[in-house]
Chains A and B, each alone.
Chain A
Amino acid sequence: MTKTVTLNGEPRDIEPGATLADLIATIAEQPQALATAVNGEFVPRDARAQVQLNEGDAVFTFQPITGG
């Protein structure tokens, strides 16, 4: 049975047992060009494959931008 998480605020269905790395792979051609957080906590790039997503998890991705 699929689970539903949110990705940058939008609902997203994921397969059971899907990890953060699995989810990122479906949305990004360059997974190394973004940073990830789950439920407000940073998840390092090399830990994404160990983070299993649960129902209702809030996943956020961040990218570099210009800034002051």
Chain B
Amino acid sequence: MALKIAGVELESRLFLGTARYPSPAVLQQAIAASGAQVVTVGLKRQLAAGGTPNDLKLIRDSGTRVLPNTAGCYTAREAINIAKMARELYETKWIKLEVLGDEYTLQPDPFETLAAARELVNDGFEVFPYCTDDLVLCQRLLDAGCRILMPWGAPIGSGQGIINPTALRTLRARLPGVPLVVDAGIGSPKDAVQAMELGFDAVLLNTAVAQADDPVGMARAFKLAVEAGRLGYESGIMAKQDMAVPSTPVTGRPFLL
């Protein structure tokens, strides 16, 4: 079943980040192997004037939709201005809103994120907020006009997987019908499977592929993991039991009457 995000139908539930790859060629091959239809990109302040780096050209040529981010921002004002620059340069109203509160944990600042989301939504942006797994924050972001939420699995780039599945399960249960994307901290394909089995609509990951020994192989592994996890979720996972339930329908013990 296709995913509908911000009015766009997507076959792939894997969103891929484009940073930290060993080379532009590997990035290009990884995007292709992942089947991703949405890739994240960024903006940086120039040290010297220059043209468009090769990486960006190959991203444009990959046929994917770009989702620019506001990485490096610590205040709503910074993020709002970066978002406007991204809209102009990338010609999209999609923005991954990332407003950080701590330089070690890189966790979102919930207050600045909410303030920025309000203003950006009012300015016509489609805001994809990177947020914590706090239910009330998530609800406030929806109230502010966000149509999608991107709660973290674990700190950015940490590869720790899903640290708080209970919190994510709560979000899924309390926000039915809202597109939910696990963003940040995914480490290996099992984490993507877990996110999809929780009923999340997609996963966004970068480091787990870019920093793998074989990013192209890992991109394919994640493609399969996201598909498997989603199919498992749609197929209705069996209920856990506290004790064993025999499978084979024998009658009693084999040699005792």
Contacts and interface: CB of A to CB of B under 8 A. Distances in A.
B88 interface: yes
Given A62-B44, A65-B44, A35 B53 contact: no
A1 interface: no
Contact of A66 (B18, B49, B84, B90): B18
A64 B49 contact: no
Contacts of A45: 88
A67 B52 contact: no
Interface residues of A, number: 24
Contacts of B86: 35
Contact of A35 (B19, B43, B77): B43
A65 B56 contact: yes
B107 interface: no
B81 A42 contact: yes
B247 interface: no
Interface string A38-65: 0011101100000000000000111111
B241 interface: no
B115 interface: no
B98 to A, nearest CB: 9
B81 A67 contact: no
Contacts of B157: 68
B82 interface: yes
Interface of A: 8, 27-30, 33-37, 40-42, 44-45, 60-68
Given A35-B85, A64-B68, A65-B56, 5 more contacts: A27-B49, A30-B52, A41-B81, A65-B41, A68-B206
23 contacts: A28-B49, A34-B49, A34-B89, A35-B85, A36-B85, A41-B81, A42-B88, A45-B88, A61-B45, A62-B85, A64-B42, A64-B53, A65-B42, A65-B53, A65-B55, A66-B18, A66-B20, A66-B41, A67-B40, A67-B68, A68-B17, A68-B18, A68-B71
Interface of B: 17-21, 27, 40-47, 49-53, 55-56, 59, 68-69, 71, 77-78, 81-82, 84-86, 88-90, 156-157, 206-207
